């Protein structure tokens, strides 16, 4: 089953100290088979001057996943945190984006803010 998630920019806080949800920057499509220690993913980076079109970003990310999947291992160094597999996959994707010199700069910026990268 293909899952889709978004990495968002850090929108900060309003005048009352309430956290404001950031805007989607990276759409991640990933697929993990239960019991497997690997998964595959792909992404679509949204343009900063365009309105976020989640359906389009999702279609692009899934299309790339089907044509050119990136294979990763589910992280095992975070077992102490008792995180679920989708969260572990999201951390692995963020780590991969940050460490890959070919990743778009916008993707690297938001991926570096997400979790224990």
The pTM of this model reads: 0.83
Please give the pLDDT value at position 79: 63
Q: Which tens digit of pLDDT belongs to each residue from 37-93? A: 899 999 999 887 777 788 999 999 999 999 999 999 988 776 666 678 888 888 899
User: 6, 10, 67: which is closest to 40 by C-alpha?
Assistant: 67
d(CA 101, CA 117): 15
Q: Measured on CA atoms in the order 104, 110, 113, 116, is the torsion positive or negative? A: negative
Contact between 51 and 84 under an 8 Å Cβ cutoff? The reply is no
C-alpha distances in Å from residue 106, one per residue of 85, 90, 117? 25, 17, 16
Q: What percent of the chain has pLDDT over 90?
A: 46
Please give the pLDDT value at position 116: 56
Q: What are the residues facing 30 on neighbouring strands? A: 3, 41
């Amino acid at each position: 089953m293909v899952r889709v998630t978004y990495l968002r920019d850090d929108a900060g806080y309003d005048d009352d100290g309430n956290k404001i949800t950031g805007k989607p920057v990276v759409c991640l499509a990933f697929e993990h088979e239960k019991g497997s220690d690997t998964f595959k993913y792909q992404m679509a980076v949204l343009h900063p001057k365009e309105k976020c079109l989640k359906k389009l970003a999702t279609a692009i990310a899934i299309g790339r996943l089907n044509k050119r999947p990136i294979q990763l291992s589910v992280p095992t160094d975070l077992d102490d945190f008792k995180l679920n597999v989708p969260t572990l996959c999201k951390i692995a994707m963020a780590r991969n984006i940050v460490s890959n010199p070919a990743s778009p700069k916008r993707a690297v910026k938001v991926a570096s803010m997400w979790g224990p990268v």
